Amino acid sequence: MKPFRVILYYFYAPIEDTETYRDEHHLFCVQHNLLGRIIIAPEGLNGTVSGTPEDCEAYMNYVRSDSRFKDVQFKVEEHDKVAFQKLHVRVKEEIVNSDLGVDPLVRTGKHLEPAEFKQIINDPNVVLVDMRSDYEHELGKFKGAITFDMHNLRELPDHIHEIEHLKDKKIVTYCTGGIKCEKASAYLLEQGFQDVYQLHGGIIRYGLEEGGENFDGKCYVFDNRIAVEVNKVNPTVISRCYICNEPCDRMINCANAECNTHVPVCHQCGEDMEGACSTECKAHPHKRTYDGTGYYVSNSNHYHPLQGLKSQKKNIKKMKLAQRTEPAE
């Protein structure tokens, strides 16, 4: 039993007063020593939070105590330490950037529970489609899955032609925690695909509940762990070190802050290259100090968890003042 937890979740439900809810949310996290990234949008919540088991349990109870989010599903993982250095609770237009113009609350792909997903992934009429970014699926993916050379979900429309010929198949989408698939599967339905499903809870939940069978490599995550093991049944390594090309499932961000590319780099090359992905990046004046992890945090400037709340309120006040002083047309 490890001393800390990392909880991943999302939930689509209308939030009218996002600013007020953001402030309440931020204060609760501060009071319970929680760090992480949380997005609040008119369409719902999306977050990854880390802290002690007790504080994480309190947070889950807090979110579920709101009738809008009583059915939220949390993916809970153990970790040796808190998986973040800071707390960010932000208001955005979407809880996952997509620009796809779809509403999962109106229509989305059919949810497949992990046990159901495990039963059908070897069916020849089933096509698995990875909805994550290129650097994510290069580190790990399900056997036989179709992947796209895209950096974010906004690029999905540029790749639909790659699977147009599969409209008569059962399409099963998947991503890290399930959130991207809510919109990606909805978009596929809009584009004329008829039989569309999604892995409910994503790769992480499948690993936790079903052992991660047939997921090759590791799963990229957006905290200081960078990559986590999923498959406890038939694991394998599919990625190779960016420097020496030897099999490697250890992911880093390039030490050069202006590069910051996400690539697999083995321990030895990481040390030899001081965390850089190339000799040019190693010699770059903006190269950060490599501590062996390949995960970097921006300068804190005497950071305190309440800092984000205060700066957010200050920005809101400035915006309201500007609106009042704008000349009438």
Q: In sequence order, what are the residues at sequence separation of 6 or more whose Cβ sits closer than 8 angstroms to the Cβ of residue 216?
A: 140, 141, 142, 143, 231, 235, 236, 237, 238
- Catalytic annotation, pick one of 29, 175, 248, 254: 175
Q: How far apart are CA 199 and CA 114, in angstroms?
A: 7
Which two tokens mark 201? 């809870």
Spatial contact of 198 and 130, defined as CB atoms under 8 Å apart: no
Q: Helix (H) and strand (E) counts for the chain?
A: 9, 15
For Cα atoms 60, 63, 69, give the angle at the middle one, nearest 5 degrees: 120
* Residue reference for tokens 């050379």: 149
Q: In sequence order, what are the residues at sequence separation of 6 or more whose Cβ sits closer than 8 angstroms to the Cβ of residue 222?
A: 37, 48
Which two tokens mark 297? 């945090």
CB atoms within 10 A of CB 288: 18
Give the residue among 78, 79, 81, 91 at the shortest CA–CA distance from 37: 91
Q: How far apart are CA 298 and CA 103, in angstroms?
A: 34
Q: How far apart are CA 36 and CA 328, in angstroms?
A: 42
Annotation marks residue 175 as catalytic: yes
- Strand arrangement, sheet containing 110-112: 110-112, 196-199, 170-174, 126-130
Which positions are annotated as active-site residues? 175
